[in-house]
């Protein structure tokens, strides 16, 4: 009925969708989870730190598990663990049980996140097409579905656990059946072997790749601030009810989803190195509206503007990183993922610590600093174009 290429593409999209769905469900119900576990902002920050460090551990072990189990079983394991972690978090009635659930979620998402971008690169290489923006759009679509479901469940007074069970469990089953159409490592054996060899010998990375890593770290943390603290901020500072607060990540992800559908055309018309600083400024403007707004409605508009600015950033970074001279696409992707996840270890607990000693609004001012730093780094990138293979690129 469908060609092998279509089946492979749909399977890749499904495994981009699942982490977005899982992450959105747990973050959109964060106020209810926080209340159920009876914890404060500092403890929530620590729990999110555990989620981040578990994600780093999953990322670190993913390549080893692939060598032992191959790609499909490893991705299936990551999807299953994410679901188990959500169930544990849904049942959590204490700080310890919440940390346990977040750790399992983080490890599962780490495994899946590490491999889904590799699958996207394998697809682009095999079928000679640009699809990374589309795949990342499905991650955002998962965020939309998760947020809307969480908002409906919050409106109906249903528990976070019900929100998790109603979507994640059946979707995980779909993914487990769909993983048979993913590409195995042996289809890119030469590239993988070259990557491992270069890792063993490499003592440094190109400056342009380091800049991409820092930019991805900032982008992940800006997005994470919306997902992990946006709904809490709406309830505590904007006096929104939980049903409205749960819409934050859905509207944010919805904007990102729509923009990413046209992301490749946008890159071609504007140019990558002009697009990135523009995106940083738009994100800065959106976050300023969130912090200065007096009503939940205007704060939601600010989050929508943030999504508009951040949408093309991460796919563009991964696409450009795959063109670094003297380094394979797989190695470049792994480097960026590790740097980005490293930032997730530091920022959530830092925001929680600042919020516990001052206010959450003060803590989120740090996001404005991240947007400004992203703007500065994106201005440096054009001077490093000679470190990229841009032959055939539309970039001027």
b/e string for 214-224 if b means 16 or more Cβ within 10 A?
bbbbbbbbbbb
The pLDDT score that the predictor gives to residue 304 is: 95
Q: Quick one: tokens of 360?
A: 């959450």
Sign of the dihedral defined by the CA atoms of residues 156, 159, 161, 164, in that order? positive
Q: Quick one: tokens of 268?
A: 């071609």
pLDDT of residue 396 exceeding 50: no
Provide the angle, in degrees to the nearest 10, between the axes of the packed helices 41-69 and 71-91. 160
What total number of domains does the chain contain?
Answer: 1
Residue 263 lies in a domain: yes
Dist. CA 102–CA 99, nearest whole Å: 5
Whether residue 367 contacts residue 287, with contact meaning beta carbons closer than 8 Å, is answered with yes
Average pLDDT over residues 300-308: 95
∠ Cα 222 148 146 (to 5°): 65
Q: Show the domain range for 316.
A: 4-185+192-387
Q: What is the mean pLDDT of the chain?
A: 84
Q: How confident is the model at residue 181 (pLDDT cuts 50, 70, 90)?
A: confident
Q: For the segment 217-248, what is each residue's pLDDT rounded down to a tens digit?
A: 999 999 888 988 888 899 888 888 888 888 88
Q: Quick one: tokens of 154?
A: 């919050």
Question: How far does CA 62 lie from the centroid of its chain?
Answer: 17
Lowest mean pLDDT: which of 96-110, 264-278, 338-352, 362-376? Answer: 338-352
Q: How confident is the model at residue 212 (pLDDT cuts 50, 70, 90)?
A: very high
The pLDDT score that the predictor gives to residue 202 is: 53
Average pLDDT over residues 363-391: 91
Dist. CA 123–CA 129, nearest whole Å: 8
Please identify which residue in the block is written with the tokens 């092998």. Answer: 4
Percent of the chain with pLDDT over 90: 26
Whether residue 286 contacts residue 303, with contact meaning beta carbons closer than 8 Å, is answered with yes
**Residue 168 Cα distances to 21, 100, 259, 363, angstroms:** 7, 18, 25, 31
Residue 381 lies in a domain: yes
CATH of the domain at 112: 1.20.1250.20
Which of 57, 186, 121, 133 lies closest to 324, judged by CA? 121
Whether residue 378 contacts residue 280, with contact meaning beta carbons closer than 8 Å, is answered with yes
The pLDDT score that the predictor gives to residue 198 is: 46
pLDDT of residue 103 exceeding 90: yes
Average pLDDT over residues 60-89: 84
The pLDDT score that the predictor gives to residue 318 is: 84
Q: For the segment 142-166, what is each residue's pLDDT rounded down to a tens digit?
A: 888 888 888 888 888 888 888 888 7
Average pLDDT over residues 122-140: 81
Lowest mean pLDDT: which of 127-141, 253-267, 274-288, 371-385? Answer: 127-141
Average pLDDT over residues 123-129: 77
Dist. CA 275–CA 265, nearest whole Å: 12
Dist. CA 352–CA 49, nearest whole Å: 10
Average pLDDT over residues 381-385: 91
Phi and psi angles of residue 311, each rounded to the nearest 5 degrees, phi first: -50, -50
Which of 336, 287, 338, 301 lies closest to 315, judged by CA? 336
Sign of the dihedral defined by the CA atoms of residues 22, 24, 27, 29, in that order? negative
pLDDT of residue 309 exceeding 70: yes
Q: How confident is the model at residue 42 (pLDDT cuts 50, 70, 90)?
A: confident
Q: Quick one: tokens of 108?
A: 């599962």
Residue 395 lies in a domain: no
Average pLDDT over residues 90-104: 93
Residue 31 lies in a domain: yes
pLDDT of residue 49 exceeding 90: no
pLDDT of residue 187 exceeding 50: no
Q: Quick one: tokens of 267?
A: 């890159």
Q: For the segment 328-366, what is each residue's pLDDT rounded down to a tens digit?
A: 766 777 788 888 877 777 887 788 889 888 889 999 999
The pLDDT score that the predictor gives to residue 68 is: 82
Report the C-alpha dihedral over residues 78, 79, 82, 84, rounded to 10 degrees: -110
Residue 205 lies in a domain: yes
The pLDDT score that the predictor gives to residue 329 is: 65
Percent of the chain with pLDDT over 70: 92
Average pLDDT over residues 186-207: 54
The pLDDT score that the predictor gives to residue 97 is: 94
Residue 394 lies in a domain: no
Half-sphere CA count of 47, side-chain side, radius 13 A: 28
Dist. CA 337–CA 317, nearest whole Å: 11
Residue 393 lies in a domain: no
Residue 114 lies in a domain: yes
Dist. CA 4–CA 338, nearest whole Å: 31
pLDDT of residue 193 exceeding 60: no
Whether residue 12 contacts residue 120, with contact meaning beta carbons closer than 8 Å, is answered with yes
Whether residue 166 contacts residue 149, with contact meaning beta carbons closer than 8 Å, is answered with yes
């Amino acid at each position: 009925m469908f060609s092998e290429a279509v089946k492979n593409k749909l399977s890749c999209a499904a495994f981009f969708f699942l982490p977005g769905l899982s992450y959105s469900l747990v973050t959109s119900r964060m106020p209810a989870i926080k209340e159920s576990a009876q914890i404060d902002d500092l403890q929530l920050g620590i729990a999110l730190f555990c989620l981040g460090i578990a994600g780093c551990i999953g990322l670190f072990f993913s390549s080893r598990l692939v060598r032992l189990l191959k790609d499909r079983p490893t991705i299936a394991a990551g999807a299953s663990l994410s679901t188990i972690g959500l169930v544990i978090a849904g049942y959590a009635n204490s700080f310890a049980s919440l940390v346990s659930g977040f750790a399992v979620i983080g490890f599962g998402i780490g495994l899946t996140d590490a491999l889904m971008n590799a699958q996207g690169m394998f697809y682009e290489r095999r079928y000679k097409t640009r699809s990374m923006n589309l795949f990342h759009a499905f991650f955002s679509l998962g965020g939309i579905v998760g947020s809307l479901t969480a908002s409906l469940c919050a409106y109906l007074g249903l528990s976070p656990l019900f929100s998790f069970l109603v979507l994640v469990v059946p979707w995980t089953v779909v993914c487990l059946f769909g993983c048979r159409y993913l590409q195995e490592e042996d289809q890119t054996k030469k590239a993988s072997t070259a990557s491992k060899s270069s890792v063993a010998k490499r003592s440094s990375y190109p400056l342009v790749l380091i800049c991409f890593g820092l930019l991805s770290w900032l982008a992940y943390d800006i997005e994470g601030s919306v997902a992990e603290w946006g709904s809490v901020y709406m309830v505590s500072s904007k006096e929104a009810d939980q049903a409205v607060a749960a819409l934050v990540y859905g509207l944010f992800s919805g904007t990102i989803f729509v923009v990413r559908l046209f992301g490749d055309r946008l890159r071609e018309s504007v140019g990558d190195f002009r697009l990135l600083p523009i995106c940083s400024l738009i994100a800065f403007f959106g976050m300023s509206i969130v912090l200065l707004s007096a009503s939940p409605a205007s704060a939601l508009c600010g989050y929508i503007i943030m999504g508009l600015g951040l949408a093309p950033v991460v796919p563009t970074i991964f696409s450009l990183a795959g063109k670094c001279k003297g380094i394979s696409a797989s190695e470049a992707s792994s480097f960026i993922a590790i740097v980005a996840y490293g930032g997730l270890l530091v920022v959530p607990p830092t925001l929680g610590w600042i919020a516990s000693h001052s206010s959450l609004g003060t803590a989120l001012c740090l996001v404005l600093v991240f947007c400004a730093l992203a703007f500065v780094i994106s201005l440096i990138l054009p001077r490093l174009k000679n470190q990229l293979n841009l032959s055939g690129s539309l970039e001027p």
